[in-house]
Structure formats: structure tokens, C-alpha cells
Chains A and B, each alone.
Chain A
Amino acid sequence: MKRMFSKSLLSTYAVILVIGYFYFRDSLVTTSVAGSALLFGLPLAMAAMVGILCERTGVVNIGIEGTLLFSAFLGFFIGAISKNLLIGLASALVGGIIMSLLLAVLTVNWKMDQIIAGTIINILAAGLTSFFYKQGYALPAIFPRWNIPFLSDLPFIGPVLFTHGPLTYAGLILIITLWVGLFYTRWGLRSRSIGEYPSSADAAGIRVNRLKYFNLILAGGFGGLTGAYLALELVGSFDRGFSAGKGFTALALMIFGRWNPLGALGAAMFFGTAQAIANQLMITGVVNIPQPFINMLPYVLTIAVLAISAGKVRPPAAAGRPYEKENS
């Protein structure tokens, strides 16, 4: 069922591309639309992985927005001050992990209400990044494009998939790795089991809270990578409120993709493609869809999907509840 859903999303994506192709009858335009769809969609997909990792292990994370903001902030400023992109990348990863450690302490150790914990992360990140924000810093460069030899020469697929910066490749590879990891490895089975039924996972000898910590740190790494991708590769600058709601969109995509990495990737590409096509249509002046309506599409669709498929879209059963050992 889950697979079918992500497949249907991916096939929708394919259909849209085909329609786009026939619409423009122009390989150059189609290629550029598909390429920019990837650029719109990938950061959202990567951010959705943060949510998937957390919720599959039983922790609701509405602090993705704050995680992105904080890690992009650290990545940009430390990268700019040290004039070294790799140091910037490392700091962004650390920033993401700091935020997820905070979430772990609040929810695993202190058993706080997880939604409030996420809210704290968002508000704290907004406060920190605006207080320490300084104008007049610039990165020495952004991560350069790596055209992968041979593959980038392929027609259509080459320019769309294989002419990006290193963090784009890293993101794509990690998303697929996460999907394999979650569904085909021991770690994945254990993680999902504590997200569904922690007490029997515990009875089977899994150390629930330790694994939760591990996965939350991993999620923070994903968040940090997303922040770095946005600040150091895609945009190359930082401003107050830089994440601009991407963390919340990611939450929507996580649900839309049914807590499955490939599903979320498909959903993100669907939105990215919609946005890219709309932009293209506006540039060519075919139609004029006001930008706000394109921006709200993911949110409207998420509500619609949840409302229609109520009871079928099922979150991990233990997401939101701290785990307390019985008789301890």
C-alpha cells in the first residue's frame, strides 16, 4: 500500500513531465523545467527526511523549520568568516545536530509534550538567528557544479540530474540510502518498531531511548545538510527568516509521502515540477497564475489529501508519546 502510494506519486510526476514536454515541444525548455523542478523540490525532500526519521522512531518533530534556519545560519556565517565552504558545511551539520539533540533531551529525557518541544525549537532558532545576525558577510564562493563525466552527456537526464553541486548529489543519494535503510536493514526494522510499538521492541531487547537518540542525531544531520544546501549551494546568502516555511512544507510532504523517503521525494518533486512549470508558463506569458497560489499549493493539497484519505494515512503509532518502561 505504501509502495503503491509512492509509485503513484512518481508516476504522476512522470505524467506531468510528459505533458510538459508535449506542451512546449521544445527539449531545451523541458530540460530546464525538469532541472529547476529538482532544485525546487530537493531541499524540501531533504527536510522531509528529518521528519520521517524522527517520526518513524516515535518523536513528532515540528521543529524542522527551526533546524533548517539554525543550521543555514551557522553554515553561512562560519563559512563566510572562515572563508571555507567545508568548514561552513561542517558547522551547518553541527547546527542541525545541536537542534536535534535539544529535541532529544526535551522529548526523550524530560518527556515533554513533543509539539511544544518543536515549537520551542522554532522560536529559539528564530530568536538566535535574528539576534546574532550581522550584515555585510559574504561567502567566498558557493559549492561549484560538478558535471559528472559521461552521465552528464546523456540527453535530458544528463543536464537534469548530473550537472549539480556536490550537496545535491549527496542529498539524492542519502534519501535513497535512507529508504533502503529504513525498509531493508535491521536498523530500519528496529527503528520502525520503536515508532510503532516501543514496549514490545523493548521486550525484544532493543534499547528504545538509545536508538531514538541515534536516529534524532541522524535527523539533525539531514537538517544540517539541508540548511547547508540552501545557504552554501543553492542560494549563497542568509537573511532573517531564511528558511521561509520550508520546514513546514516538509512536514506536509512527509505526510503526503506517507512517512516514506521515496514517497516524500516523489511528493517534493511533484511540487517542484508544478512550481517549475508555473514559472515557465509565466515567463512565456501563456497564463498568469499569481505566485501566492503556486506557493500555497502544497498546503492545500496536504489538507485535501488528509481530509480525503482520513484513516488511511496513518502515522507511526507511537509518534508523539514518550516511552516509559513499565515496572521500572
Chain B
Amino acid sequence: MSHLKSAITPIMALIIAFLLGAVLMYLQGADPLLAYQSLFYNAFGTSAGIAESFGKATPLIFSGLAVTVGIRAGLFNIGAQGQLISGALAAAWAGHRFTDLPTVIHLPLSLLFGITFGALVGAISGALKAYRGVHEVITTIMLNSIVLQLAEYLSNGPLKEEGQIIARTAPIQESAVIPTVFNLPLGFFLGLAMALIVWWIAKNTTMGFSYETVGRNKNAAWYAGISVKRVTIGAMLISGGLAGLGGAIETQGVVGRFEPAFNAGLGFDGITIALLGRANPLGVIPGAILFGGLRGAGPNMQFDAGVSPDIIELILAMVLFFVTAPLITKWFRLKQNNQVSVTSGWGN
């Protein structure tokens, strides 16, 4: 029941954002009903559409989970973007570099490379926070830019595909490609499983409990004998690893190589999705599927109703606004269920 209640705000936020989106479309002279019909039909009405939606949702589940794990432990990881990119690049390297490996080894090995490099990037922020008190929001923002530049350099320099003009790496070997099951990308199910695992760990293990305690109250955690430093580093390690895995799956399941433009924004969406899911690992899934579906069907909507797919970004921005601002609880006199709070300032 409490789960149902906590879903009211996100659902209301979605409805209001879509209504506002309809107004904008109408003002532009388009037919909002036709546009939404096309959008939802193409996203969830056909089997090909569902496959596409799930495919687009996959990296978002991971970046959403990455941000969620951070919030749970009291950290705001804005760096999912950078962690995801480093994971995607590392997996592309491993996927191309190792030859003559059987799929059973090569595929997970490449994923592992992605996880490791994502986790490393995350751990930098975690360690800086734990040992030097540097706020993770600052370091993750900075690392996003650093990783982006590094990835640009590598994919346009040392790791560039030979004889290629565009900045991109060579394609990964056949043995590292993630297969599809009944047309559905396997990565999506990995995402679902991962959400369940994170949820289960958070609920049922000592580790989950200590992370949550640190997230709620550092001092209390410290008095209870929990090492706040270890939790901080651990949470950023896991968070980065999840984002890196998302990037690796994107490389091995969808793109087939690393190309900078292909991963743009996937990590940032994780912030919106995590907040939309109220920082609940399972709550990430519907948000990611919705985002993925809308993204995937955007071009169809443009074709059918003449509405620019950019409207989707705007609607998603409004969703974030309404889900986090205490407007809906005020308007509808809902009892304020605890607002998501991630940090208080730059201090500790």
C-alpha cells in the first residue's frame, strides 16, 4: 500500500508533463492526440517497438541504478555519464583486442572490463570524498568532462579504427557481441536482474543496511560502528560499476564499437530516472522503459504527426521538475512522503 502511495507523485508528474507537452504541440499547430497515439503505439504497441523500447531502456536502467545506489548511501553521483562512457570504451577495447576467445569467456570478460573502468572512475570520487572531504558532486562533474575528453582523444587517436575519418574504435569481435533472445536484447534482462539484485541487497543484507544507515545519518552510522569511509568508497565503486556495465552492454549489445556520440546523455538520464523512481531500485525499471520507449518512438512521432522529437526531452525535463518540486503534494494535498534529499551543500 505504501508503495502505491509513493507512486502517486510520479504518476501525477507524468500526467501533468504530458498535458503540458500537448499544449506545446497544439501551439505549434500539431495534433497532440495523433502525436501521443503514434508515440505510444510505436513504443509499446508492436513487438518490434517493444524490442526497440527495451533496447533503449537497457542503459537507462543501469545509469538509473547507479544514481539510485548513490542516493541510498547519501551520495549524489552526477558522474554516471562519465562512468558509463569509460565502461563503454573499455568494453569496446576488450571486445576488439582479444581475439580467438570463445564467447563464454570473451563476452563476460569485456563486460568485466566495462564494470572495472566504470567503477574506477566512480571510486576516484568516492576516495576523494572519504579521505579528502571533496564533495562528490564537484568531482563527478569534473570527471564527466575529463572522461569525455579522454574518450574523444582515444577514439580519435590511439584506439581509432584504421582508415576511418570519424572518431570511433574498431568493431568488437563476434565473440563479444551480446545476443538477442526472441528479438529482445539480452542486456535488458541483465538490467532487470541487476535491479532485483540491488533491491534485494539493499533490503536483506548487512551491507545494504549499513549503506542505508550512512545515507540517512552519517553520525548515527559512525556511532553504530559503521565505517562511513568504506561505505562512501564502496557506494561510489558500485555506482560507477553499474554505470560502466550499462555502457559495456550498450557497446556489446547495440553499437558494436565505441563512438562518442552514441552514449551522449545516457548517464544524465539516470538522474531523472532515479528521482522518478524515488530512489528505489525497482522503481528504476518503469521509468527506464518509459524513457526508452519515448526515445525510440520519437522519430515515428515526427513522421506521423510532424512533432519534433525534441518535445520528448522537454517532457522528460518537466517530469523531473514535477516529481522533485513539492508542487504536486501541495496541489493535491497529499501527505508529504519524504522528499528525496541527496545532499546539503558542499560540506560533508
Q: Which residues of A contact B (CB under 8 A)?
A: 60, 62, 106, 110, 112-117, 119-120, 123-124, 126-128, 130-131, 133, 245, 248-249, 251-252, 255, 290, 292-293, 295-296, 299-300, 302-303, 306-307, 310-311, 315, 317-321
Contact = CB atoms under 8 A, between A and B. Distances in A.
Name, among B308, B321, B339, the residue most crowded by chain A CB atoms within 10 Å (CB to CB). Answer: B321
Given A290-B157, A293-B153, A310 B134 contact: yes
Given A106-B325, A113-B341, A120-B321, A302 B138 contact: yes
Interface of B: 24, 76, 78, 128, 132-134, 137-139, 141-146, 149-150, 152-153, 157, 268, 271-272, 275, 308, 310-311, 313-318, 320-321, 324-326, 339-347
A128 B21 CA distance: 11
Contact of B138 (A127, A133, A306): A306
Contacts, number: 133
Nearest to A305: B134
Given A120-B320, A124-B317, A110 B132 contact: no
A127 to B, nearest CB: 4
A320 B137 CA distance: 12
Given A127-B314, A252-B142, A306-B138, A321 B157 contact: no
Nearest to B128: A307
Contacts of A292: 149-150, 152-153
A310 B157 CA distance: 35
Nearest to B271: A119
B320 A123 contact: yes
B138 A296 contact: no
Contacts of A255: 138
B345 A248 contact: no
Given A123-B272, A123-B317, A292-B152, A115 B343 contact: yes
Which secondary structure dominates where chain B touches chain A?
Answer: helix
A306 B140 CA distance: 13
Contact of B314 (A131, A252, A299, A300): A131
Name, among B142, B152, B314, the residue most crowded by chain A CB atoms within 10 Å (CB to CB). Answer: B142
A300 B313 contact: no
Nearest to B326: A110
Name, among B76, B146, B268, the residue most crowded by chain A CB atoms within 10 Å (CB to CB). Answer: B146
Contact of B340 (A114, A116, A303): A116
Nearest to B343: A115
B149 A306 contact: no
Which secondary structure dominates where chain A touches chain B?
Answer: helix
Q: Give the top 8 A-B pairs by smallest Cβ distance, nearest first.
A: A320-B345, A127-B317, A127-B314, A310-B132, A292-B149, A292-B153, A299-B142, A296-B149
Given A106-B325, A115-B343, A119-B271, A296 B150 contact: yes
B346 A319 contact: yes
Name, among A292, A300, A302, the residue most crowded by chain B CB atoms within 10 Å (CB to CB). Answer: A292
B156 to A, nearest CB: 8
Contacts of A133: 310
24 contacts: A60-B345, A60-B346, A62-B141, A112-B325, A113-B341, A115-B342, A117-B324, A120-B317, A120-B321, A120-B325, A123-B271, A123-B316, A127-B314, A127-B316, A130-B313, A131-B308, A131-B313, A131-B314, A248-B141, A248-B145, A249-B145, A299-B146, A303-B146, A306-B134
Nearest to A306: B134
A290 to B, nearest CB: 5
B77 to A, nearest CB: 11
Contacts of A252: 138, 142
A303 B139 contact: yes
Nearest to A130: B310
B343 A320 contact: yes
Contacts of B132: 306-307, 310
B128 A131 contact: no
Contacts of B345: 60, 114, 315, 318-321
B208 to A, nearest CB: 23
A292 to B, nearest CB: 4
A112 B315 CA distance: 21
Given A123-B316, A248-B145, 20 more contacts: A62-B78, A62-B141, A113-B341, A114-B345, A119-B78, A120-B324, A124-B318, A131-B314, A133-B310, A252-B138, A302-B142, A303-B146, A306-B128, A306-B132, A310-B133, A315-B346, A315-B347, A320-B346, A320-B347, A321-B345
B342 A127 contact: no
A120 B24 CA distance: 19
Contact of B24 (A131, A303, A321): A131
Nearest to B139: A303
A299 B311 CA distance: 32
A55 to B, nearest CB: 8
Contacts of A320: 343-347
Given A113-B341, A303-B134, A126 B320 contact: no
B141 A251 contact: yes
B137 to A, nearest CB: 6
A290 B149 CA distance: 10
B47 to A, nearest CB: 30
A299 B142 CA distance: 5
Given A60-B346, A115-B342, A131-B24, A293 B149 contact: yes
Contacts of A317: 347
A264 B321 CA distance: 31
Contacts of B324: 112-113, 116-117, 120
B58 to A, nearest CB: 21
Nearest to A241: B264
